[in-house]
């Protein structure tokens, strides 16, 4: 398991009965997590005095309950600064466990000794984009949501990366990749975090079990002659990390060689020795 254990501004304080108590900078949030199927005494005082609590509904979805939580605040990870705000379906605009992946590919970029072009698909609010840019890469950031791309730009400004070589694009990821193939463009590294299910701007249906292999196959055509890495992340329940590595083996390693890893991302729980699992990743690198 790859741990995101280098945060100062974020930690999982405790978890029990389907919920986790988290510290996001100066604020405490209680949010649901389907992985937490155990029940332990809630002895941490933060359970009784959170700044925000997302309550799941038995009918699906849920809603926030706030106690002295600002509309927006910031947290830091090394040199990066992220703007946070609670919004739909329990999210805050950041997945802290992804820091384990940021550290992995940032080291590869810094040690490459050459310019590195990165394509970040389903790029959300830009955590991976900013980590790659801060490490010295030029990045193409693609997400179908205009609001998410705007949020990512705000994070770039907060991190002092507004002048970094980042190309911001609001686009359907699969269609963008197909156009890039026709244009003959190439990238040294690809990052993707596809959703389990979604709809494109014209109602196109995305189902990860049907679409992920064709997307990886197409992305492999965009790799340069000297690719550096390829990262796939997924939060889809039941999709094992090994499945992601199999896709990378078929479409990338068979062509370029290199090495593969597959594993879960995890967050340490401060009050116990538990590690909270948080999604799956497959990593290919040229090394």
In three-state secondary structure terms, 280 is strand
pLDDT reported for residue 238: 83
Arithmetic mean of pLDDT over the chain: 95
pTM, rounded to two decimals:
0.95
- pLDDT, tens digit (0-9, with 9 covering 90-100), for 143-200: 999 999 999 999 999 999 999 999 999 999 999 999 999 999 999 999 999 988 877 6
Give the HSE-up count for residue 56: Cα atoms under 13 Å, Cβ half-sphere: 11
Q: What angle, 0 to 180 degrees and rounded to 10, lies between the N-to-C axes of helices 146-158 and 127-134?
A: 40
Domains, the chain, in order of start with CATH, read: 8-84 (2.60.40.1180), 96-285 (3.40.50.150)
Q: Residue 272: what are its φ and ψ, rounded to 5°?
A: -140, -175
Range 234-249 average pLDDT: 93
Nearest to 96, CA basis, from 110, 82, 79: 82
Range 34-56 average pLDDT: 95
- Report residue 201's pLDDT band, with 50, 70 and 90 as the boundaries: low
| Distance from C-alpha of 167 to C-alpha of 160, rounded to nearest angstrom | 16
- Report residue 205's pLDDT band, with 50, 70 and 90 as the boundaries: confident
- pLDDT, tens digit (0-9, with 9 covering 90-100), for 104-146: 999 999 999 999 999 999 999 999 999 999 999 999 999 999 9
**Helix ranges restricted to H, 205-257:** 208-220, 241-248, 254-256
Q: Which residues contact 238 (CB under 8 A, 6 or more apart)?
A: none
């Amino acid at each position: 398991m790859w741990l995101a254990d280098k945060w100062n501004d974020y930690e999982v304080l405790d978890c029990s009965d389907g919920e986790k108590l988290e510290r996001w900078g100066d604020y405490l949030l209680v949010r649901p997590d389907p992985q937490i199927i155990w029940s332990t005494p809630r002895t941490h005082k933060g359970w009784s005095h959170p700044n925000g609590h997302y309550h799941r509904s038995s009918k699906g979805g849920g809603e926030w309950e706030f106690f002295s939580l600002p509309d927006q605040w910031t947290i830091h990870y090394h040199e990066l600064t992220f703007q946070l705000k609670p919004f739909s379906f329990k999210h805050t605009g950041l997945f802290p466990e992804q820091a384990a992946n940021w550290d992995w590919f940032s080291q590869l970029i810094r040690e490459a000794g050459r310019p590195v072009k990165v394509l970040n698909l389903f790029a959300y609010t830009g955590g991976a984009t900013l980590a790659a840019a801060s490490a010295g890469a030029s990045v193409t950031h693609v997400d179908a949501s205009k609001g998410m791309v705007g949020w990512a730009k705000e994070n770039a400004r907060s991190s002092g990366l507004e002048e970094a070589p980042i190309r911001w694009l609001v686009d359907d990821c699969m269609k963008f990749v197909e156009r890039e193939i026709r244009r003959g463009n190439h990238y040294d590294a690809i990052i993707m975090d596809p959703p389990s299910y979604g709809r494109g701007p014209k109602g196109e249906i995305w189902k990860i079990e049907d679409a992920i292999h064709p997307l990886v196959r197409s992305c492999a055509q965009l790799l340069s002659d000297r690719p550096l890495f390829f990262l796939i992340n997924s939060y889809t329940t039941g999709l094992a990390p090994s499945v992601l590595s199999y896709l990378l083996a078929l479409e990338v390693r068979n062509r370029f060689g290199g090495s593969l890893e597959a594993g879960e991302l995890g967050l340490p729980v401060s009050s116990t020795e538990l590690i909270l699992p948080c999604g799956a990743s497959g990593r290919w690198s040229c090394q």
